[in-house]
Amino acid sequence: MLFPTCMGIEMTSVWDSQMINAVQFVDLWQEYFDNPGDHYAINGTIAASYGFGAILSVPFIPWFAQRFGRRWSIFAGSLIMITGACIQAASQNVAMYCVARGILGFGIAPCIVSGSALLGELGYPKERPILGSLFYSSYFIGALAAAGLVFGTSRINSEWSWRLPSLLQAVPSFLQVGLIFLVPGSPRYLISKDRREEAVEILVKYHGEGDRNNVIVQAEFAQMETTIKLEMENSKRSWMDVLRTKGNQKRILIGSLLVNQKINVGNVAWQLINATFFALIVNKFARRKMYLACTISLLCCYTGWTIANARYAVTDSLAAGKLVIFFVFLYSPCYNLGYNALTYTYLVEIFPYAVRSRGIAVFQFWGRTAGAFSTFVNPIGMGSAGWKYLLMYVCWLAFEIVCVYFLFPETKGRTLEELTFLFEGDDLKEKQTMAAEKQLFGAGDGNSVAEQMADKATEGAHTETHEVKS
């Protein structure tokens, strides 16, 4: 159920970008809308309207997700996308087409924010990073499906050559609407709403294999409840929370730096393969090392790409042209190593529950803003400056390496609750630990949670052995 309802959300997102690129080559679409490809401003507005819609939804996402829960946020966003897809398929002019795309964008943002958060909050601790990484990798499955569909429908000799793929864009959203409530809710959301028993039942069923006395389940629940209580005490849960403390300011800065415009070139099947590979091995390496390897390799790749572009532009060298193609294909694994494999995993880890939706929404805001900017500016820059325009991105990548090295904390191997006060003082961390120990073991005997959990597990094993002997 998690795949079509949460992990498949990125498939819905890429469907739009892949489709809008593909229909540019459908003659009947160009004719119907009076050749928008010949008018830069109109074509740019059509392409960017999806991102503009997503930007407009950002202020409302956290409020809705925190009030009604992750599942209702996905449900509402999917309904909005279904509406947008139907209007897009029925479009009579460019204005109607742009409005429809704006509605689609307005719906996708809450789905992405809540889907990534739900995966992180629901997943078993050891599986959580992989689930978050595969969330972004599903992007390429949607890209393949959308490209194949538009290629097939382009042979239809009527308006349905572009109306049909527009309408079918609603299919993933229909799946999310129909299946989302078969997925359990976030235990952390339930705890925040004082629905303790429901949260316990979910943890017992999915993390404890039905055993209410499971030590891991008891420890998880104790950590979640005490941590969320502390968060709520120290948070007014408004938009100002994201800038109220130095810890949240640092989180927002890191979240904004995670925005890196992907260049959608190369073979999509190749991108799917390497993105999935990196997602599956994400637990084997430290987050900082993966991000450093990603940014350094991107800088090397992009520098080589720029030099090859420059040589080809000046000398028209065949060897330089081949190098450009080589770097195009090399770019994909370099990017997917960090920005694809880790982005949503890392966002869920660095933002605590009380501001998690806001943090991911801010990331969406900057990502969509950067996308809209590049849609309008990149063609102008490349047209006027050529390969020299690429030097701007080379400088940006060098800047990102410095930021990753000095700002990005290591989060691997810790639970979301252990990471809650990552940027705050030790007093809150100690208060959190003591509260969890008290709830889990009573007054306690001075031992750590880990030691007491081990003692409890050993006692359980001795009891089982005694029962077998008797």
DSSP per position, 24-43: GG-HHHHHHTT-GGG-HHHH
User: pTM of the entire structure?
Assistant: 0.87
243, two tokens: 């800038």
pLDDT at 157 over 80: yes
Instruction: Give the model's confidence band at 458: pLDDT under 50 very low, under 70 low, under 90 confident, else very high.
Output: very low
Give the pLDDT mean for 62-86.
95
- Give yes or no for a contact between 308 and 432, defined as CB atoms under 8 angstroms apart: no
pLDDT at 433 over 80: no
pLDDT number for residue 336: 92
Could you tell me the residue ranges of all domains in the chain?
2-185+234-407, 429-469
The residues, ordered by sequence, that sit 6+ positions from 314 with a Cβ below 8 Å of its Cβ are none
pLDDT tens-digit series, residues 163-188:
999 999 999 899 999 999 999 999 99
By percentage, how much of the chain surpasses pLDDT 70?
90
Residue type at 103?
I
What are the φ and ψ backbone dihedral angles of 285, each rounded to 5 degrees?
A: -130, 155
77, two tokens: 């966003």
pLDDT tens-digit series, residues 335-364:
999 998 999 999 999 999 988 999 999 999
Instruction: Give the model's confidence band at 372: pLDDT under 50 very low, under 70 low, under 90 confident, else very high.
Output: confident
| CATH number for the domain formed by residue range(s) 2-185+234-407 | 1.20.1250.20
- Give yes or no for a contact between 368 and 55, defined as CB atoms under 8 angstroms apart: yes
Residue type at 131?
L
pLDDT tens-digit series, residues 24-68:
888 899 999 998 877 878 888 898 899 999 999 999 999 999 999
Using CA atoms, how far residue 454 sits from 106, 204, 304, 448, 450, in Å, is 48, 19, 53, 10, 6
